A and B are shown apart, each in its own frame.
Chain A
């Protein structure tokens, strides 16, 4: 499988996280708030967040969740505030948000865990914390995960060079990935993959040097999507995949979002 670079979207500042909604609109979380781009990549709207937004996700009802330090802000699709969940202990530094069933998941990099809440913000359980021994090892400072159609959580565990599969209740089901500095099927460096997205397979980004890859759910490498298009100093490159299989990746140094599509898809 091969991919080609088809488009780049320049953000207005630092981009920490991206997400797509059901209509193919792209949401970018940055220091000054949320920016929204239409399915063609044209800027549509923006609104401020009360703190730098480190992650963004869009629920099936269109509500937009922004992960920040110490809180999650929830907006409607126009940017009107709906609610704020504040919790310095459980939401120390929210670098990823997702949904499984009726639950909201938040990756808390401050405590190296994924928190599961109900839709009202009530805490339910941790995922990946101290499981099986030291939990998510993130020297890169970011917790990131994706969720498949069955609600299984795929968490990047970069210190172990793995993507781990968890039930929403926090049971570790298994993993894909291994260290390898030579074979591109493995993950190299001290701590990769840093970021993950789930669609028809497992999509990952790595740092030093920047690399984007696609795996099937068994862990077989399907494609090295991109390597040399990114600034070499990029790290923690957020990734999203749309329903057409187009892959969106943040260049964290250039503050741009690069889009790739399959060749002969």
Chain B
């Protein structure tokens, strides 16, 4: 009896592993960043430094993780804390003199009705260049509420991710923020 159970258990485990491998081969199970766990985007944590393990631990050159701006949540602010280093000295335009992104991966342009005389009257669109972004998380942290609206989060990009069995970022992440999901839920 116990021998049967043991054999059944082993067979079930093998079958489960086979199903996982088939699903993975079909691209159905993927790694994704859980924004509710990631320290850069998780609400309630203030005064923390940006975590850049997604940049440093990924086996892919420049990382498979990117900062993604969800435009429907973005406030389109004149002074975006994810674009500007808001702690830097103000320049002659009345804006922070420094940008935040170390790779200059975010572009800013006025949208909608534009006031050419007073830039503060305008809405702005912030576009992340994924060829430059390495997922360092600095902009994500500054976009988090209450400073921002939380429109920028880190996402695994599947055209870059090699879908390791054990993602090296997940092994390093102290927040356990990398998780495997069916691809339909992960997008």
Q: Report the Cα distance A207→B114, complex, angstroms.
A: 27
Chain A 151-182 against B: per-residue CB contact (8 Å), 1 yes, 0 no? Answer: 00000000111100000000000000011111
Query: Is B77 interfacial (CB-CB < 8 Å)?
Result: yes
Q: Report the Cα distance A179→B83, complex, angstroms.
A: 15
Beta-carbon contact of A159 and B77 below 8 Å: yes
Beta-carbon contact of A233 and B44 below 8 Å: yes
Interchain CB contact (< 8 A) of A179 among B90, B115, B118? B90
Beta-carbon contact of B46 and A232 below 8 Å: yes
Quote the shortest CB–CB distance from B20 to chain A (angstroms): 40
Beta-carbon contact of A233 and B81 below 8 Å: no
Query: Is B145 interfacial (CB-CB < 8 Å)?
Result: yes
Q: Report the Cα distance A179→B95, complex, angstroms.
A: 7
Beta-carbon contact of B123 and A189 below 8 Å: no
Beta-carbon contact of B122 and A133 below 8 Å: yes
Beta-carbon contact of A139 and B96 below 8 Å: no
Answer whether A160 and B147 are a contact pair too, CB < 8 Å, given A137-B78, A139-B77, A182-B89: no
Query: Is B120 interfacial (CB-CB < 8 Å)?
Result: yes
> Contacts of B120 on A, CB cut-off 8 Å?
159-162, 179
Q: Report the Cα distance A142→B60, complex, angstroms.
A: 43
> Contacts of B96 on A, CB cut-off 8 Å?
179, 181
Greatest chain A CB density within 10 A among B76, B86, B94, B115 is at: B86
> Contacts of A233 on B, CB cut-off 8 Å?
43-44, 46, 145-146
Beta-carbon contact of A159 and B113 below 8 Å: no
Q: Report the Cα distance A209→B47, complex, angstroms.
A: 10
Answer whether A161 and B79 are a contact pair too, CB < 8 Å, given A189-B86, A233-B44: yes
The contact sample of 5 A-B pairs, CB cut-off 8 A, is A134-B112, A137-B121, A139-B76, A190-B75, A190-B81
B-to-A contact residues, CB < 8 Å: 43-44, 46-47, 75-81, 86-90, 94-96, 112-115, 118, 120-123, 145-149
